[in-house]
Structure 1
Amino acid sequence: MRRWSELPETARDALGALTAFTGGAALSLAGLSTMTERGGELSLWMRFGVLATLCVATFFRRRKPVSAMLGGLVPLAVDTYLGATVPVWIIYADLIYSAVLYTGGRASRITAVCWSAFSGFVVTLTLALTGDLRSVALALVAVFSFVATPIWWANSVRTHKEIADAERTRAQALTLVAELDRRAAIADERTTMARDLHDVIAGHLSAIAIQSEAALGVLARGDTDPALAGIIRSIRSNSVSALQEMRTMIGLLRSSGAEDEVAAPRRLAQLSILVDAARAAGITVRARSTLDGAALPSAVDQAAYRIVQEALTNAMKHAPGQEVSVDVHAEDEVLRLSIRNPTAPVPPPRPEAEGGRRGLENMRERAAALGGSFHAGPHSGCWEVLARLPLGIGGES
């Protein structure tokens, strides 16, 4: 059935016409086609000619159903005059079915009403001419079989199609409503998250930036250790930078579409900002990159920046004063990140023990989301963070 429905409409109509002619010819050869007899011997070729003419009309049953039905009246009248045969009447019943089903609503109703009126006229005329109840009964059987049944069947199929179309339209409308509800829920959740970020985190970062600036003012009026001033400058720089990124994230969460102008997230092009902030905090950072300004997919670029940022933060927390090496290079359609630092002789206390591995999990999730790999752990006396991110990802920078 699937292969049949995939055929072109003209091919299906041609095969249908050929099948109808073959079946009708077989019934005629078997002597099972005659419904009423007429005196005299009739040539089979004459019967085949009438049948073939009607089958040609069936070739247009879908594209021009009314014309096919009206054109089929000629071979039907000839067949009735020569002696009605079953194949011709069955094929013409299909033409009536097609004229009711494949036309517009007005043409379908006109066809049904005309054939109903003609059927009533034939039965009444039979009763008036013969007065024989048996002849009237035969006329009623013929009308019911070859006229009423095709009209009823076509109307039933038409009704089911209209119901199916209405249900399909309703399902599409419900899908659209569900999608709008989903978008509204997402927008509401994003707004709530943006508000919470602003109220909880952005406020603290602003306080850190203001307090560190005040501390720098106090230190500038006295004789203090330059290293201490550098550390406080690093605190202020990091807090201001974090505050800017937090505002960017809040803007992204509040944005409702791509047309909103929001600052772009940090990328590897700003890697020097991370290095300078780490050096200002008092650690030695050796960074090496072979990208040379090469364009990377935006998702990979942003994820790589965040992984390096988190790895440097962990190094400053858990191995203070140790040299950190950062290596970034692309090879074979893969971006490779390597961040290494010697392990601290005595591990510092970790008050955040309950959520201390959240940073590692975040880096691993970022790599996995892009189809890459991530590894972090001790290696040859160093703590090593390795990430491999495939570059064959949509979203150009």
Structure 2
Amino acid sequence: MFSSFRPHRHDVLLAVVGLSGGMLLWLLGLHLQTHRVFTAPWVSLVPLVVASGLELLRRTSPQTGLVVGTLALIADQLTVGNLATILMFTDLVYSAVLYGKPSAARRIPVTTFLIMVVVTIGFLAWFRTPQSLLIGVATGMISFGPALTGASVRNHRDAAETARLHAEQTALLAEMDRAQAVTAERTRMARELHDVVANHLSAIAVHSTAALSIDKPATSRDALGVIRENSVAGLAEMRRLIKLLRAGGSSEPAASPTLASLDALVEQARTNAASSGLTCTFEDTREEREPLPAPVELAAYRIVQESLTNALKHAAPGPVEVRLDRAGQVLTIEVSSVIGEHPGPRAPGSGAGLVGMRERVALLGGTIEAGPSVTGDGARIWRVRAELPVTEGTSRT
């Protein structure tokens, strides 16, 4: 209960040293003044004991110590006086500024300065001698001087604490930035791995299941051909990504897929989806065919790739249409497939593909819609439509 009021060991040491020094001065008869109200030397020990006891409160109750210490100093002036009492009072003034409340730390230096000025002017008017200025100087030395020192030390301590907190905040922000960068890089890697591998693995899963479930040599042979083709392509993509990760970005970057590769991508999807009754077509209605910024072309390619993969997994027999168009500064990608009962084996989906597409579009400041729709002739289709700004300045990467 009283542990918070336990004096600091340095304060105990100051109190012991002050009391011992004052007792030694008293035993030696070294007094500061004579002809006072209380001429008996032992009376000067009372303010001495009080001042030394107040040293125990210099950190826990500095303002109380200063108030009582001021009274002890006044009492000491009514006796023969003791230098140790005055020295301990200066420490109480210093402690009140250093350890007290901020308001007290601002008020005490001003108050002690005014006291010094009033005392100097008062004694100069009373004695009318230049020597009376020494009284004002002595008053400043035991009051204003310690208060000014305490304010200076407190300002330096507060500045150091502010600098420490600023350094901690800077380190925390740096760690947050690093964690966000790591998270963003992991998300990008997961998105890239999913996009480049899922297409091949989905085709392998569908055709391997078909080869196992349909007892026809021709069907099995075709399925194994598709499986081999996708295995080789998927392995090449994995090797490319592993090489890039091992290089840590220090080697020359590998070429990213572009819109010029969409023909080959759709042709590969057409081969993979033939056994499921899907017919993949590609229509590019752009009037301007100049290369677009690399992030835009990569995002468009991955959106088409993921949409074709989803069609292979879930679409009913019928057309899978890929359309590419550009109006002004907006590139439009649209992929549609028929909604219905999917024939033959079905590959499981995780939903990560749609999330990856939305992330890519959001990073470029575009928009994307993915969901069921109805055509003009009443057919139900699954449509993915993305609009990407083609200016590189819109990217938020």
Q: TM-score, normalised by structure 2?
A: 0.50
Taking structure 1 as the reference length, the TM-score comes to 0.50
